[in-house]
């Protein structure tokens, strides 16, 4: 295990940010900490980095207990949500910081910084100041700075949070490639379930200071451990006690078997995906996701009467635990 948190509790006044949290992260993996704001995910990352001291519990990095270790001795790279650039230093000096304070030889620093600047695609921008960079460039500079001293662990706090959608998508892909090349154990915090499912090879879902589920993206989506995870990792329809994903609703023009009558209220075409809003004969609203092909075959129009069947529905007990899935 590269990183382990054991029974970590952290309070801020009366607020319990982390409530007996335990996670372990495999060496070389890319792990996503996913949860709504206030769920404790950033606090957990800061505890691992040593920027917060837990009230109880222990942190291990590469098998060594690090709970009482100062952040500068933990050998972690940390990228802050707003990048925390050293505003009075050039891009070059920002990236070199971790090396110059370790008094590495000048030639080595020059070589390493040049290499990193190329890696993060900031070639030619070394003499600029952070204020002269775009958000995406600042983000990549912060990454290069964190990677400079070759940390064992890379921690990213909402790394793409403050960027616009297109830059986010580019950077996600770029982070994946970077991780494939460098294989540094990486944990990133996000509140965006799509980001977690796309980038991470293991996802830790957090809510109200607790870990709800730890699983690879596919398992998380297909076998959510409880109602919270089911609702958080993707859109759902709630029909009484049953939870159904919008793509698990089948639409047809023929009444067959368990299908029920519904009226098409609205159709939204988003390129490949088509979203259909329906109202069932019992007044129940349903959101349905179809592929463009499926939608074209059905030739749907607003006001049409169709028949809907739920392919997979899930039910959860009062406490949120799954009762067995029902193939309808």
- CA neighbor of 189 nearest in space, from 3, 23, 87, 37: 37
Q: Does 314 bind other proteins (CB under 8 A)?
A: no
Contact 81, 193 (CB under 8 A): no
Which contiguous run of DSSP H or E holds residue 203? strand 202-207
CB of 114 to other proteins, least distance (A): 19
Please report, as residue ranges, which positions from 230 to 259 form the binding site for other proteins (by CB under 8 A): none
CB of 327 to other proteins, least distance (A): 49
CB of 12 to other proteins, least distance (A): 12
**Which residues pair with residue 290 across a beta bridge?**
274
Rounded to whole angstroms, the Cα distance separating 251 from 7 reads: 47
Give the one residue of 88, 166, 218, 324 binding other proteins; rule: CB under 8 A: 88
Chain position carrying tokens 């870990």: 211
Give the one residue of 37, 87, 256, 319 binding other proteins; rule: CB under 8 A: 87
Which contiguous run of DSSP H or E holds residue 16? strand 15-25
Determine the interface stretch with other proteins among 36-44, 71-79, 245-253, 305-313 (rule: CB under 8 A): 71-79
Nearer to other proteins (CB atom), residue 80 or residue 221:
80
How many residues bind other proteins (CB under 8 A)? The answer is 28
Which DSSP letter does residue 62 get?
Answer: T
Rounded to whole angstroms, the Cα distance separating 30 from 199 reads: 8
Q: Does 103 bind other proteins (CB under 8 A)?
A: no
Please report, as residue ranges, which positions from 155 to 214 form the binding site for other proteins (by CB under 8 A): none
Q: Does 77 bind other proteins (CB under 8 A)?
A: yes
Edge-first strand order for the sheet with 210-215 is 76-79, 153-157, 185-190, 30-34, 202-207, 210-215
Which contiguous run of DSSP H or E holds residue 30? strand 30-34
CB of 79 to other proteins, least distance (A): 9
Q: Does 136 bind other proteins (CB under 8 A)?
A: no
Q: Does 104 bind other proteins (CB under 8 A)?
A: no
Rounded to whole angstroms, the Cα distance separating 36 from 31 reads: 17
CB of 51 to other proteins, least distance (A): 5
Give the one residue of 82, 177, 285, 293 binding other proteins; rule: CB under 8 A: 82
Q: Does 146 bind other proteins (CB under 8 A)?
A: yes
Residues 6+ apart with CB under 8 A from 221: 197, 233, 234
Determine the interface stretch with other proteins among 58-66, 79-87, 205-213, 277-285 (rule: CB under 8 A): 79-87
Q: Does 85 bind other proteins (CB under 8 A)?
A: yes
Rounded to whole angstroms, the Cα distance separating 309 from 132 reads: 55
Name the residues that contact other proteins, by CB under 8 A: 49-51, 70-78, 80, 82, 84-88, 97-98, 101-102, 142, 145-146, 148-149
């Amino acid at each position: 295990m590269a990183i382990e948190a054991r029974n970590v509790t952290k309070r801020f006044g009366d607020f319990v940010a982390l409530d007996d949290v335990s996670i372990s992260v495999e060496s070389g993996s890319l792990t996503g900490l996913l949860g709504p704001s206030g769920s404790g995910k950033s606090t957990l990352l800061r505890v691992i980095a040593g920027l917060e001291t837990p009230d109880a519990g222990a942190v291990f990095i590469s098998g060594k207990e690090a709970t009482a270790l100062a952040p500068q001795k933990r050998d972690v790279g940390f990228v802050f949500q707003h990048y925390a650039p050293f505003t009075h230093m050039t891009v070059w000096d920002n990236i070199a910081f971790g090396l110059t304070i370790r008094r590495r030889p000048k030639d080595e620093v020059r070589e390493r910084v040049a290499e990193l600047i190329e890696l993060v695609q900031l070639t030619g921008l070394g003499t600029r100041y952070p204020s002269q960079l775009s958000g995406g460039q600042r983000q990549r500079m912060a990454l290069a700075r964190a990677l400079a001293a070759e940390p064992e662990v890379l921690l990213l706090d909402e790394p793409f949070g403050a960027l616009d959608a297109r830059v986010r998508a580019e950077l996600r892909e770029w982070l994946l490639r970077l991780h494939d090349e460098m294989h540094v154990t990486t944990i990133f915090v996000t509140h965006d379930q799509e980001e977690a499912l796309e980038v991470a090879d293991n996802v830790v879902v957090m809510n109200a200071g607790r870990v709800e589920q730890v699983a690879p993206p596919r398992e998380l989506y297909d076998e959510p451990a409880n109602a919270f995870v089911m609702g958080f990792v993707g859109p759902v329809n709630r029909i009484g006690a049953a939870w159904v994903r919008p793509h698990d609703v089948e639409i047809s023009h023929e009444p067959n078997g368990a299908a029920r009558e519904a009226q098409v209220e609205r159709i939204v075409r988003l390129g490949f995906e088509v979203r259909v809003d329906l109202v069932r004969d019992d007044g129940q609203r349903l959101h349905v996701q179809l592929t463009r092909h499926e939608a074209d075959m059905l030739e749907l129009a607003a006001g049409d009467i169709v028949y809907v069947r739920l392919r997979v529905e899930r039910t959860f007990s009062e406490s949120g635990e799954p009762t067995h899935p029902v193939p309808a």
